[in-house]
A and B are shown apart, each in its own frame.
Chain A
Amino acid sequence: MHYLTFVLFALTFTWFMVTASSPRRVIAVTVAGVLVLTLLISPPVAEAQGGLVEAIQAVLNVINGMLKNALSAINTARTAMNALYQNFVWPVQLINQAHAQVTQMINQYRALMASILNMNLSSATLPTPQSLETMMRDHRVNNFNSLTQSFGNTYGAIPSSVDASQADRDMSDMDDALTLDSLKTLKASDNATDLELQAANSIENSATQAAPGSAPFMTASAVASSIRSQALTQKMLAAELRQEAAHIAHQNGFRKRGATFTTQFRTLMMNLLQHN
């Protein structure tokens, strides 16, 4: 910056000096140049260095006082944090203890509960119901036709139009249909339950090795599984709702037909009495 100012001043001063037309102007330019030089371009006055020792001492005081204390405090805080993490938040021995507990509970409960759930509950004694019962409880979803067949064998077919009124046939068909719907839904639900148990086992197995940082993944996945489980429960509830609704609709159908029959009977009796 100082060099640039000097160059600018030198050029300007030279120009005025060269173009000055009289000695008086030369003197005027010289005086003006000196004044400008003194007032604007001269280097700043150097400061005195009398306080150097005090300044160095002040810096040393800052280093040995404030900075040392601050670093010491940070060190204390970080050490405390480290101890907090290792001894209180994530103590390794408790993490290992949790792993051991998961493993121990798997050994204690899993096989026992599976054996309880898989106990044979079949109770039918005659061949046809036995076949239906087996079909109903086999957790398979690829034999719905056989189920329908077994159901028909056990509970009979819908009466023909000669044997029953259309209303009776319709109600009977609806009852059978909703029963079969429920049985099929239950076969699918049983199958889904098996898969859910499989998922639960996988999550629990992983928990035996999980770290505090990986556990949230499993927890979130387990919650997502719970949502699915609820959805399946709802599907079963919906099937039960349909079934129960059909049940009371059927009974109500009897009530309606009873009213119709009563009216017909009353008309018949009145006609009979009138004829007599």
Chain B
Amino acid sequence: MKCFRDALKTAKCWIVGHKLRAAVLTLVLLVIAPWPAKAQYVDPCCAIMAAGLASISSALENVIGGGLNHILGVDQSIQQFEQNTVWPQNLINQARALVGGLQGIFNQIQSLTQIRVNSATLPNSQQLETNLLSRNANQIGQTSSNYTALYGQVPTTTDASQQVRDVVDMTDAAAQDAMKRAIEIDALSDLELQAASQINQGIQSAAPGSAPIIEAQADAWLVRANAYTQAATADLMRLRAIDLANSSADIKMGATNTTNLRQQLMNLLQHN
């Protein structure tokens, strides 16, 4: 307070001592001080502006507001239609619940495929059967040795003709190929069941807009599954083809053997 009083006193002394400067300073500051603008109600251009704004307001209300109201009405109608008819929440929830319910059935199916069906009683057959039912593609390397242990090897050159050896080897090959394919198919079908469960879980948490994407993925899996089924069917057809070829080979070899025997008998009779 005392400082303020001193400052005022100093300022007063300065003003008294420098009257001209104080006057100039006061004049300049008064001239340039910003003053609030005065209202212009009395200005004629304000009346024009008021009328113009009223026209604009009226136009906004009628033209823009009316147009927007029409659009709003149509949009509300669309929204109502989509909510009640196209994507009703309760029916979507029902569909999700259905998918959840189906998952229970699918789990039962999956557990059915896991039931052990092994039935062999002797060591060699048990070993081959275990290999065949392993559902493990890594076990395919053991199939041939297990097969040979049970069904024997291709006869040696002293025991059978080359033709017989070829037929026997081809038949063994077809049988082993089919057994290996069976292991593969079992493994693949296990993976397919697993994937199907994952897809089903995905559907349960999907939105109506994302469900078709999952459906597309499921379709792709179905195509793949069809391809695996075709691969298995192809091996089955190969097996049956080899079986048929074997029947034919038996006839052919029988005919050759008969001819050879007849020839040898004729030679024998001629020598006598």
Q: Which residues 211-250 in A have Cβ within 8 Å of B in the complex?
A: 211-221, 223-228, 230-235, 237-242, 244-250
The answer to whether B240 touches A244, judged by C-beta atoms less than 8 angstroms apart, is yes
Interface string of B73-113 (1 = CB under 8 A from A): 01101100110011110011011101101100110110011
Interface string of B196-214 (1 = CB under 8 A from A): 1001100100101001101
Smallest CB-CB separation from A264: which chain B residue? Answer: B159
CB contact under 8 A between A188 and B28, given known A217-B203, A217-B206: no
Smallest CB-CB separation from B32: which chain A residue? Answer: A37
The answer to whether A52 touches B229, judged by C-beta atoms less than 8 angstroms apart, is no
Smallest CB-CB separation from B75: which chain A residue? Answer: A78
Task: Name the segment of B1-9, B17-25, B258-266 touching the other chain.
Answer: B17-25
Chain A interface (Cβ < 8 Å from any Cβ of B): 2-3, 6, 9-10, 13-14, 17-18, 20, 23, 26, 30, 33-34, 37, 41-43, 49, 52-53, 55-57, 59-60, 63-64, 67-68, 71-72, 74-75, 78-79, 81-82, 85-86, 90, 92, 95, 141, 144, 148, 158, 167, 169-171, 173-174, 176-178, 180-181, 184-185, 188, 191-192, 195-196, 198-199, 202-203, 206, 209-221, 223-228, 230-235, 237-242, 244-253, 255-257, 259-260, 262-263
The answer to whether A241 touches B86, judged by C-beta atoms less than 8 angstroms apart, is no
The answer to whether B85 touches A241, judged by C-beta atoms less than 8 angstroms apart, is no
Interface string of B224-250 (1 = CB under 8 A from A): 011011001101100110110010000
Cβ-neighbour of B85 out of A56, A95, A199, A247 (below 8 A): A95
The answer to whether A79 touches B182, judged by C-beta atoms less than 8 angstroms apart, is no
Interface residues of A: mostly helix, strand, loop or mixed? helix
The answer to whether A6 touches B32, judged by C-beta atoms less than 8 angstroms apart, is yes
The answer to whether A253 touches B211, judged by C-beta atoms less than 8 angstroms apart, is no
Smallest CB-CB separation from B214: which chain A residue? Answer: A220
CB contact under 8 A between A242 and B85, given known A170-B125, A203-B98: no
Interface residues of B: mostly helix, strand, loop or mixed? helix
Cβ-neighbour of B64 out of A63, A196, A199, A211 (below 8 A): A63
Query: Does B137 make an interface contact (CB < 8 A)?
Result: no
The answer to whether B98 touches A218, judged by C-beta atoms less than 8 angstroms apart, is yes
A262 CB contacts on chain B under 8 angstroms: 159-160
Most-contacted residue by chain B among A41, A79, A177, A238 (CB, 10 A): A238
The answer to whether A173 touches B125, judged by C-beta atoms less than 8 angstroms apart, is yes
A225 to B150, CA, bound (A): 39
Cβ-neighbour of A255 out of B68, B106, B167 (below 8 A): B167
Q: List 15 A-B contacts (CB under 8 A).
A: A10-B32, A174-B124, A177-B119, A180-B119, A195-B108, A211-B91, A217-B203, A220-B199, A220-B206, A221-B98, A225-B106, A228-B193, A239-B182, A245-B239, A249-B147
A273 to B152, CA, bound (A): 31
B174 CB contacts on chain A under 8 angstroms: 245, 248
The answer to whether A71 touches B71, judged by C-beta atoms less than 8 angstroms apart, is yes
B82 CB contacts on chain A under 8 angstroms: 85
A67 CB contacts on chain B under 8 angstroms: 63-64, 67
Cβ-neighbour of B228 out of A30, A81, A234, A257 (below 8 A): A234
A17 to B28, CA, bound (A): 11
The answer to whether A227 touches B34, judged by C-beta atoms less than 8 angstroms apart, is no
Cβ-neighbour of A228 out of B121, B151, B196 (below 8 A): B196
The answer to whether A241 touches B121, judged by C-beta atoms less than 8 angstroms apart, is no
A255 to B192, CA, bound (A): 39
Chain A proximity of B22: nearest CB distance (Å): 8
Cβ-neighbour of A249 out of B29, B91, B171, B225 (below 8 A): B171
The answer to whether A241 touches B179, judged by C-beta atoms less than 8 angstroms apart, is yes
Interface string of B140-167 (1 = CB under 8 A from A): 0000000100111111001110001001
The answer to whether A211 touches B92, judged by C-beta atoms less than 8 angstroms apart, is yes
Chain A proximity of B4: nearest CB distance (Å): 18
List the 10 shortest-distance A-B pairs measured between CB atoms, nearest first: A56-B52, A71-B67, A213-B87, A230-B225, A177-B120, A259-B160, A180-B119, A223-B218, A184-B117, A217-B95
Cβ-neighbour of A78 out of B74, B168, B212 (below 8 A): B74
Smallest CB-CB separation from A184: which chain B residue? Answer: B117
CB contact under 8 A between A181 and B118, given known A214-B208, A241-B239, A255-B168: yes
The answer to whether B129 touches A241, judged by C-beta atoms less than 8 angstroms apart, is no
B86 CB contacts on chain A under 8 angstroms: 85, 90, 211-213
CB contact under 8 A between A196 and B181, given known A17-B25, A144-B117, A260-B159: no
A249 to B242, CA, bound (A): 11
CB contact under 8 A between A235 and B113, given known A211-B88, A223-B218: yes
A248 to B147, CA, bound (A): 12
B118 CB contacts on chain A under 8 angstroms: 177, 181
Given contacts A173-B121, A220-B206, 12 further A-B contacts (CB under 8 A): A10-B32, A26-B20, A81-B78, A82-B74, A90-B86, A184-B115, A217-B95, A226-B218, A238-B182, A241-B236, A249-B172, A260-B155
Smallest CB-CB separation from B52: which chain A residue? Answer: A56
Smallest CB-CB separation from B40: which chain A residue? Answer: A49
